[in-house]
Amino acid sequence: MLIAICKECGARMETMAGLKVLCANCNMYCDVVIDDPARVLMPTRLTAEDGHKFLLNGEYKIQTYYPNEGYCGCGECFECTMENGMKEEIDMEVPVPWTMIKDIYQRVVEFEKSKKNK
């Protein structure tokens, strides 16, 4: 048994399958959405208008390392011997760009669409 939600009144009822179910509340065959705990309704794209950018932008970061141009490496000078002194590499956190987040999301949407069309 699946749980169907009436699109008209929001009533929940059991169903075997199908997109139309006799809704006791509306007293007619109503369009329903199947309430699958493994799935939620998702928009087809992420947008700033819907608050997705505010939610995700800057939220994920990648740790990157790049060579320290000023690194000495002699092991004797002040810079090299001081605690927490110069390092051969500088690490930096780079936020995952908003455009990339959208691209990843879009890829999943297209993938789900392609499954549905089969």
By C-beta, is 30 or 46 nearer to Zn ion?
30
Q: Is 28 in the site for Zn ion (CB under 5 A)?
A: no
Tell me how far, at minimum, the Cβ of 51 lies from Zn ion, in Å: 30
Using the minimum distance from each CB to Zn ion, give the nearer residue, 8 or 50.
Answer: 8
Decide if 39 contacts 100 (C-beta within 8 A): no
73: its two tokens: 């490496």
Regarding 109 and contact with Zn ion (CB under 5 A), the answer is no
Within 8 A by CB and 6+ apart from 117, the residues are none
What is the per-residue burial (b if ≥16 Cβ within 10 Å, else e) of 95-116?
eeebeebbeebeeeeeeeeeee
Work out the number of other CB atoms within 10 angstroms of the CB of residue 2: 14
Q: Is 24 in the site for Zn ion (CB under 5 A)?
A: no
CB of 31 to Zn ion, least distance (A): 9
Residue type, 16: M
Residue nearer to Zn ion on the CB measure, 22 or 94: 22
Q: Within positions 63 to 82, which residues make up the interface with Zn ion, using CB under 5 A?
A: 72, 74, 77, 80
Q: Which residues bind Zn ion (CB under 5 A)?
A: 6, 8-9, 11, 23, 25-26, 30, 72, 74, 77, 80
